């Protein structure tokens, strides 16, 4: 069972995902700045895991506050949230967790709690966010698992596994684990996911650990395997889903979705409702992170491209809702039109 981030009395414990699959090393992050750096530098990554880590980062920052005045703690909280909020722009779970922790503070303050009580309440809420995330993935696994046929092969992109969430299941990999739990025989094609190689390094590592048959391919092989009839479904996660069902996910997802459409293969997105941004009307409103060009020009210290070459390194793309066959959440399976089906899920909340 993989749980990539944990609360401890000493600080926030994180599995350093930058070192996988060759090294399993845990870091102890003792300040909110350490946690912010951990999110920015990809020690932890994947939208739900980023949300859980942000909540723990805020909790550790509040815990470390040494003043005696609630107004000063509020000012510190705003600062902590500002720092954590500047780490990664696309994964909305980050901002969802910040909003929730701020609301928890306001409620406790409104109830006249002491600083010691507020610290305890905020630590508890971060732990609750983590637990709720794992429970959401369990339900996603159950609902999503039902969509997959026995004896099928699923293509997934990037890593939307336990590593990318609060742990245990994952979103896209949760769907696969759910189907396996339901007694189905499932095998997986994981694409490498250039340039950061989450598919090769993380998805392959996770599935091997679980003894789920997995075959690694390069990103440019997905069309070929689909055309050959080797893929029965595509399942991916998401960093932010707009109110109309447009899906932002790891760069290359759009390409895979178009290929799936071309070959009549169902394209499923698995994500908790904390990834759905009802304040973002369409995918055009989703901010797309651009990362260091060295991720493309170099492989560790090996230079792959000529010095001075112009490079774009978009970390995410947006798949339009019309080619998304279903969005699997902890509330069930949303289908088109997503504007209505997603809204309904929030109303039931």
Site string for ligand MRU, 264-303 (x = CB under 6 A): ----------------------------------------
Active site residue: 191, 239, 317, 325, which one? 239
Determine the Cα–Cα distance for residues 243 and 95; give it in Å rounded to an integer: 16
CA distances from 98 to 11, 77, 143, 336 (A): 18, 10, 28, 30
Residue from the set 125, 239, 317, 325 that interacts with ligand MRU by CB under 6 A: 239
Query: Could you give the angle at the alpha carbon of 86 between the alpha carbons of 4 and 256, nearest 5°?
Result: 60
Q: Between 104 and 143, how does the x/- string for binding to ligand MRU read (CB under 6 A)?
A: ----------------------------------------
* Complex with ligand MRU: residue 62 or 328, whichever CB lies closer: 328
In whole angstroms, the minimum distance from the beta carbon of 273 to ligand MRU comes to 13
- Tell me: does residue 84 bind ligand MRU (CB under 6 A): no
211 in helix, strand or coil?
Answer: coil
Q: Is 319 in the site for ligand MRU (CB under 6 A)?
A: no
Contact 200, 192 (CB under 8 A): yes
Stretch near ligand MRU under the rule CB under 6 A, chosen from 64-72, 100-108, 232-240, 317-325: 232-240
Among the listed residues 53, 171, 319, 341, the single contact to ligand MRU using CB under 6 A: 171
Other beta carbons less than 10 A from residue 135's beta carbon: 15
Distance CA 274, CA 97 (A): 8
> From the centroid of its chain, how far is CA 8?
22
Q: Are 320 and 248 in contact (CB under 8 A)?
A: no
The least distance separating ligand MRU from the CB of residue 275, rounded to whole angstroms, comes to 7
Least distance in angstroms from the C-beta of 72 to ligand MRU: 34
Helix (H, G, I), strand (E, B) or coil at 89: coil
Per CB under 6 A, does 51 bind ligand MRU?
no
Rg for the chain (alpha carbons), in Å?
A: 20
Contact between 160 and ligand MRU per CB under 6 A: yes
Q: Does the annotation count 284 as an active-site position?
A: no
Using CB under 6 A as the binding rule, whether residue 87 contacts ligand MRU is answered as no
Nearest residue to ligand MRU by CB is 237
Are 204 and 159 a contacting pair, CB within 8 Å?
A: no
At 28, list the tokens. 């102890």
Q: Which residues bind to ligand MRU, rule: CB under 6 A?
A: 45-48, 91, 158, 160, 164-165, 171, 198, 237-239, 249-250, 315
Catalytic site residues?
239
């Amino acid at each position: 069972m993989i749980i990539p981030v944990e609360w401890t009395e000493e600080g926030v414990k994180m599995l350093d995902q930058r070192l996988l699959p060759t090294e399993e090393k845990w870091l102890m992050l003792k300040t909110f700045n350490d946690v912010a750096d951990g999110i920015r530098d990809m020690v932890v990554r994947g939208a739900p895991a980023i949300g859980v880590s942000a909540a723990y980062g805020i909790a550790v920052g509040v815990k470390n506050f040494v003043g005696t005045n609630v107004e000063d703690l509020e000012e510190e909280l705003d600062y902590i949230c500002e720092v954590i909020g500047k780490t990664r722009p696309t994964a909305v779970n980050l901002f969802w967790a910040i909003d929730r922790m701020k609301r928890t503070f306001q409620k406790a303050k409104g109830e006249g709690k002491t600083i010691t009580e507020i610290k305890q309440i905020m630590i508890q809420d971060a732990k609750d966010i983590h637990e709720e995330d794992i429970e959401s993935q369990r339900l996603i696994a159950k609902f999503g698992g039902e969509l997959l046929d026995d004896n099928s092969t699923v293509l997934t992109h990037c890593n939307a596994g336990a590593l990318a969430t609060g742990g245990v299941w994952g979103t896209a990999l949760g769907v696969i684990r759910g189907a396996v739990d339901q007694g189905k025989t499932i095998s997986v094609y994981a694409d490498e996911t250039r340039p950061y190689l989450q598919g090769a390094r993380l998805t392959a590592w996770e599935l091997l650990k679980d003894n789920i048959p997995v075959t690694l391919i390069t990103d440019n092989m997905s069309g070929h395997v689909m055309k050959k009839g080797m893929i029965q479904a595509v399942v991916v996660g998401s960093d932010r889903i707009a109110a109309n069902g447009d899906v932002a996910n790891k760069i290359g997802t759009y390409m895979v979705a178009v290929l799936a459409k071309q070959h009549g293969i169902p394209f499923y997105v698995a994500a908790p409702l904390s990834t759905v941004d009802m304040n973002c009307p369409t995918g055009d409103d989703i901010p797309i992170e651009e990362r260091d060009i060295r991720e493309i020009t170099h492989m560790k210290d090996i230079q792959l491209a000529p010095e001075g070459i112009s490079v774009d390194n978009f970390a995410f793309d947006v798949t339009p809702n019309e080619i998304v066959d279903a969005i699997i959440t902890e509330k069930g399976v949303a289908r088109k039109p997503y504007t209505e089906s997603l809204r309904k899920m929030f109303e039931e909340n």
